[in-house]
Structure 1
Amino acid sequence: MATLSSPGIGSGLDVNGIVTKLMAVESQPLTALDNKEASYQAKLSAFGSLSGALGSFQSALAGLTYPAKFQAVTATSADTTIITGSATSKAIAGTYNVNVTQLAQAQTIATAGQTTSATAIGDGMATTLTFQFGAISGGTLTNGVYSGAAFSQDANQARGSVVIDSSNNSLQGIRDAVNKAGIGVTATIVSDGSATPNHLVFTSTKTGASSSMKISVARNPLDPADPSLADVLAYDPAAAQQMTQSSAAQSTKLTVNGIDVTSSTSTVNEAIQGVTLSAAKIGSTTISVVQDSTAVKYSINSFVKTYNDLDSTIKGLTGYDPKTQKAGLLNGDSTVREIQTQIRNMLSSKLSDSGSGLATLSQIGLSFNKDGSMALDSTKLQTAITSNIGGIGSLFATVGTTSDSLVSFVSSTSATQPGSNAINISTLASQGTLTGSAAPANLTITAGSNDQLELVVDGVSTTIKLAPSTYTANGLVAALQSSINGATAFSSAGIAVSVSVDGSGKMSVTSNRYGSASNVGATGNGLSNLLGTPVAAAGIDVAGTINGLAATGSGQTLSGALGSATEGLKLQVTGGLTGPRGSINMSQGYAYKLNKLVDNYVGSAGLIAGKSKGINSSIDSIGKSRDSLNLRLAAIEKRYRAQFNALDAAISSMNSTSTFLTQQLAQLSSLK
């Protein structure tokens, strides 16, 4: 039978209250564990704040490891309505006189007027319009028509073709077909308000003297001739012209300090080294190229701010406030003192390998205040900028300086050690080439006979076809290069070739890529006509040593040996001779070294990670102690309750006996 227990009811003892108070005393070690855990959690959070501050400091340092951060250059035009400029770090400071005499424009040609734009032209049988792009030279231009001129195709612009049939053989249809084809021509219809107002107008999408158009109109040889479309659209600047020119293709022309410069667009690159010019109108002005000291000042000030932010965080975590009489959560922690000391020592040390005339931060106006924060003397910084702005970059960044102008520093990694390393080149990189054995046998290209090549360039294959025509030798070279470089399979893969001809008329096709991955091969019905029995030569990778150890060559790039002081170093060798090629001096500035130092703190195996691991281990230990203590407290409480319940029962029994005896004695007294 079940019984109900209510401690203390029979005896009057407050068993629950007594046990609760006793357990409060017994539980004091649990409270101590909770307080200790809270202290550890606070420290863990403090180390998290320190890690975050170091991470922010490291992020700021990352940008300072690149020399370009300190090599910003500006190009300013005295008259921006004539020309503007933008500069890279390669630009040379100076003032340049610029005179713009001609602006680039595209060629525009138009058909004779038609009564309507919807009327069909010709019999509607399939006819191909072929657009070529090139330069017009010689002759005279009268009322939009050339006489006695010559046309030479641009080898770097692919031909384009459009098929016109019964579905699109009106001005509107031709316009839409040309625009849809995306062949470098924009077609529109212009109405002049006359009795035959509608003119189909073609405009090259590219500007420049080499973007003039030539339009051929051809039918399948088996179809009967239909001159109607040709009478409207055929256009050859060197022969018959059924269309008239309203705007000539021309390039931008200007002089820089009296030297003639030409560009196919309004943008002119490298007329001034490292500067891109954008011409807007004809006129004269000056371009001033100067080092951008504003960018350098901003970088230095950002460095000072990020350091002071870190210093402020460390002070807050380790300091003592006499007003509140409270210490920071990491006050007295040896790990934080070590981090703070190492960073300050590095910033106060002298670089032994800068090679720029600047070796300490104090030389550019950086110093420490008495409270440990960093200060910047702007006057001293400006003096350093004026006298040695390039050296400031070397003071902070990782810089590789070569003594040979045809050997350039590309990049390095954290594995690359500072110092000077000798360079020796045993083999220069070469390009894959397919060289003809004889001059083209026939300059007339016939469809299905000698018009096709199956080409493999740098491992990518495609088929190209030359447009049927009778070419000059140079024209055939230009057409072949244009057709190859215009092939989608090649252009989409970033592959291009150069087609050249030697003094005997033999043609060569050369990949623009260098190294062992560069190759050119060909088959097809046009091979023997164009190249005879060609000889293929694969490209060769550059080879040599850096610091006396064999380096790895890939194309024109030479990489330092793994496990050596030059590991991670990449150089580009663009020419010159084999043999000794000077040296590369690697210097690592403050930003680079600090970045590596901070890695030792915030990395997965760093000081903070180790400290945090120890704290977490202590927290886990407290958890285990708490669990063990809770089990012991449960047993103690159980024992207390058993003991007091037994006492309660005993007192209750004695109370019952007392009551019974009292009653019995009372009855005995009443009998007397």
Structure 2
Amino acid sequence: MLSTPGIGSGLDVNGIVSKLMSVERRPLVVLDAKEAKQQTQLTAFGTLKGALSSFQSSLSALKSPANFSAITAKLTDTSLASVSANSSAVTGSHDVEIQTLAQSQKLKSGNFASSNTSIGSGTLTIQFGTYDSGTFTLNPEKAAQAIIISPANSSLAGIRDAINQSDAGISASIINDGSGDRLVIASKDTGLSNALKITTSDDDGNNIDNSGLSQFAYDATIGGTANLSETVAANNATMVIDGIPISKASNKITDAIDGVTFNLLKADLGTTTTLNITRNTAGIEKSISSFVKAYNDLNQTITDLSKYNAETKKASILTGDFTVRSLQNQLRNALSDPLKTAGGGLSILSEVGVSFQGDGSLKLDSSKLSEVVNDPSKDIATLFASVGKTSDSLVSFVSAKSDTVNGKYLLDINQIATQGTATGSAPSALTITSGINDTLDLTINGTAASITLGAGNYSADSLAAEIQSKINGKSAFSSKDINVTVTQSAGILTMTSNQYGSSSSVEITGGNGELSLFGTATETIGIDVAGTINGINATGSGQTLTGAGDSNGLVLQIKGGSTGSRGTIDFAHGFAAKLDQVINKMLDGKLINNRIDGINAKIDDINSQRETLSRRLGDVEKRIRAQFSALDTMIASMTQTSNFLQQQLSRLPTIGNS
């Protein structure tokens, strides 16, 4: 049944109900306004968290001590070499003369009709070392490499390709000199200690004749077979620094001056140029300037969100908010409280030209900053980064945690870290015979592998070099950065692990050469450094010592020295580190998150009130509509009765006349 309210009575029922309900809905409008305000505050706190995160990102350049130790190295004549320096370099100037560049040895074969000429199959064994007066001394850092030449790749081109695919530390090419093709073999590494000794295992049964694969044999020792001829001699780079002769295997020299790397480009014998090593003060000043700008950007965001405009008498969305005031106070306190144990001669920001202005922003005095940065008696790193200054040169600060407490710590060492070793019980045999005493089974730092030594007669030094070379070249070890140093004293061999601490060990577990080379070896496991920081036992691992208590997270490296008192460590979190901690607590802690949770709770409560009110309004509208519908029906009925009576009354005169 279809009905239209008011059609019978003429009342505008829908209009009346709508107007009445608009009055009833006024509490909803109030709730909407309250929610809009809460949403605006929620957005404001989101903006505030974003500004804090941006400012925190700007602190990264100031938190690390290394960024304040940046060093610039420059050579007057840049055509001779490119130079760079790290934080360990010491500022100053040096006279430099580059006399020769390092070269890699190159060897050539005889002429062959073409690259397709069949040569022969077998094995090429490549060794690296130094030739001196007809003797060859192995390079202990480079293991011998075997290259198998199968019958399928026994042509001149095939041998070239097999060499280049072997990753054996040499390269090969074919050069036509007009009368035929020659194979040229070159060591990939420069330097006297990377000269080549090439021996063959020729499938034709003769390893030294000038036929088959043995045409590529090269041994320049007295009595050796040299079927290849040298075209370029292995040579070291030589230079003179401040009157001191320097000889290095590579044109990249990293250990001539501490912290400085040379990449030699050209030799100029007899000409001296100047190397200047200076601090990168411009980079430090730029980082601090960026820090000031970033803080001011944060301060402006906070001001915009919380200011009160006295002229317009309008407040911002977070004006008077306790959380914002607390946040501002924490930031300003972190920037204002002096450092007490920094140890770098600086304790407050104003000493480097950074000071507060009346509006809460920071101002930078660039000239004052530049003066301090260039003052060698001041360590500006301690003002910003988390830094520990040690009084013992063999003790170095590694790192700290955010909860490491600022302070001066006393260091006592009762045990120095050692390396694992294995020492023979008697002089080693110096003749290695294949299948008789040429293998060793080893477990180094927990990793096991076996090596095979080259057969031959050795001196004690050359045998030590051969063993070291084979161990350090073994992929099972090198892939885990495990290596050893092998030395000899009166013919007795000692192997020492490169690692320090209780995980450092060298075990000779077998092999046919164990007894003849080491006898009954004495094997000693390394020990960890041990000691106390401020009287509290610290945790040692290798050469590193990690504090506990107030020094929790303070990590030091003890590079030898004696046991007993080892001086002090002045540790402090600089201003950048302090601010980073403060902001972490603001972003991850309760200060802002509780406020945001409170706002969200209010929004949820408003939504709950809205739902309740909406249900009530629905009931109210039903009731009002029902009442007016009833009135509409009643009025319609009365109207109908009225119309009927009028019709009847209008007929009364007619009835009388009848």
| 1:659 to 2:654 alignment | no
Q: Which moved more, 1:639-648 or 1:377-386?
A: 377-386
Contact persistence 1:160–1:183 (CA under 8 A)? yes
Contact persistence 2:342–2:570 (CA under 8 A)? no
Contact persistence 1:599–1:606 (CA under 8 A)? no
* Aligned partner of 1:249 among 234, 247, 258: 234
Q: For the structure 1 residues 456 and 327, does the alpha-carbon distance in structure 2 shift closer, same or farther, using more than 3 Å as the test?
A: same
Q: Residue 93 of structure 1 aligns with which residue? A: 91
Structure 1 residues 193-249: Cα deviation after superposition (integer angstroms, max 9, x where no partner): 02xx2111100000111000001112589x577831365111111123111111111
Contact persistence 2:201–2:207 (CA under 8 A)? no
Q: Residue 549 of structure 1 aligns with which residue? A: 536
Alpha-carbon separation, structure 2, partners of 1:418 and 1:151: 58
Q: Residue 10 of structure 1 aligns with which residue? A: 8
Contact persistence 2:423–2:492 (CA under 8 A)? yes
Q: CA deviation at 1:345?
A: 3.0
Alpha-carbon separation, structure 2, partners of 1:219 and 1:170: 14
Q: CA deviation at 1:263?
A: 1.8
Percent identity, please. Answer: 46
Q: Which moved more, 1:330-339 or 1:493-502?
A: 330-339
Structure 1 residues 349-396: Cα deviation after superposition (integer angstroms, max 9, x where no partner): 322222222111111111222222211111111111222475221111
* Aligned partner of 1:601 among 586, 592, 609: 586
Alpha-carbon separation, structure 2, partners of 1:396 and 1:663: 104
Contact persistence 2:453–2:467 (CA under 8 A)? yes
Q: Residue 76 of structure 2 aligns with which residue? A: 78
Contact persistence 2:202–2:212 (CA under 8 A)? no
Q: CA deviation at 1:446?
A: 2.1
Q: Which amino acid aligns with 2:136?
A: F
Q: Which moved more, 1:166-175 or 1:609-618?
A: 166-175
Alignment size in residue pairs: 649
Contact persistence 1:87–1:274 (CA under 8 A)? yes
Alpha-carbon separation, structure 2, partners of 1:464 and 1:446: 14
The two structures have a TM-score, normalised by structure 1, of: 0.94
Find the residue that maps to 1:391 and give its secondary structure: coil
Q: Which amino acid aligns with 2:298?
A: L
Structure 1 residues 532-572: Cα deviation after superposition (integer angstroms, max 9, x where no partner): 111211111111111101111111111112xx001101111
Q: Residue 634 of structure 1 aligns with which residue? A: 618
Give the 5 Å matches for 1:499-518: 499-502=486-489, 504-518=490-504
Contact persistence 2:208–2:214 (CA under 8 A)? no
Q: Which amino acid aligns with 1:275?
A: V
CA RMSD of aligned residues (A): 1.6
* Aligned partner of 1:132 among 115, 118, 127: 127
Contact persistence 1:70–1:390 (CA under 8 A)? no
Contact persistence 1:99–1:256 (CA under 8 A)? yes
* Aligned partner of 2:117 among 116, 119, 143: 119
| 1:427 to 2:415 alignment | yes
Contact persistence 1:507–1:531 (CA under 8 A)? yes
* Aligned partner of 2:440 among 431, 445, 453: 453
Q: CA deviation at 1:270?
A: 3.1
Alpha-carbon separation, structure 1, partners of 2:202 and 2:613: 100
Q: CA deviation at 1:323?
A: 6.7
* Aligned partner of 2:193 among 186, 210, 215: 210
Q: Which amino acid aligns with 1:492?
A: S
Q: Residue 265 of structure 1 aligns with which residue? A: 250
* Aligned partner of 1:414 among 402, 412, 432: 402
* Aligned partner of 2:279 among 285, 291, 310: 291
Q: Residue 457 of structure 2 aligns with which residue? A: 470
Find the residue that maps to 2:98 and give its secondary structure: strand
Alpha-carbon separation, structure 1, partners of 2:144 and 2:311: 84
Alpha-carbon separation, structure 2, partners of 1:308 and 1:231: 76
Q: CA deviation at 1:280?
A: 1.1
Contact persistence 2:201–2:214 (CA under 8 A)? no
Alpha-carbon separation, structure 2, partners of 1:479 and 1:337: 71
* Aligned partner of 1:650 among 623, 634, 637: 634
Alpha-carbon separation, structure 2, partners of 1:480 and 1:293: 48
Alpha-carbon separation, structure 1, partners of 2:241 and 2:392: 28
Q: CA deviation at 1:473?
A: 2.2
* Aligned partner of 2:30 among 29, 32, 50: 32
Alpha-carbon separation, structure 2, partners of 1:623 and 1:641: 26
Alpha-carbon separation, structure 1, partners of 2:600 and 2:237: 70
Give the 5 Å matches for 1:430-441: 430-441=418-429
Q: Residue 569 of structure 1 aligns with which residue? A: 554
The two structures have a TM-score, normalised by structure 2, of: 0.96
Structure 1 residues 450-504: Cα deviation after superposition (integer angstroms, max 9, x where no partner): 11111111111112111222222222111111011000111111110111101x2
Q: For the structure 1 residues 593 and 226, does the alpha-carbon distance in structure 2 shift closer, same or farther, using more than 3 Å as the test?
A: closer
Alpha-carbon separation, structure 1, partners of 2:156 and 2:604: 84
Q: Residue 62 of structure 1 aligns with which residue? A: 60
| 1:532 to 2:530 alignment | no
* Aligned partner of 1:342 among 330, 344, 350: 330
Structure 1 residues 92-134: Cα deviation after superposition (integer angstroms, max 9, x where no partner): 1111111111111100011122222222224x5xx22111100
Structure 1 residues 134-180: Cα deviation after superposition (integer angstroms, max 9, x where no partner): 01112xxxxxxxxxx22111000111111224222222121111111
Contact persistence 1:69–1:299 (CA under 8 A)? no
Gaps of 5+ in 2: none
Q: CA deviation at 1:579?
A: 1.1
Q: Which amino acid aligns with 1:214?
A: K
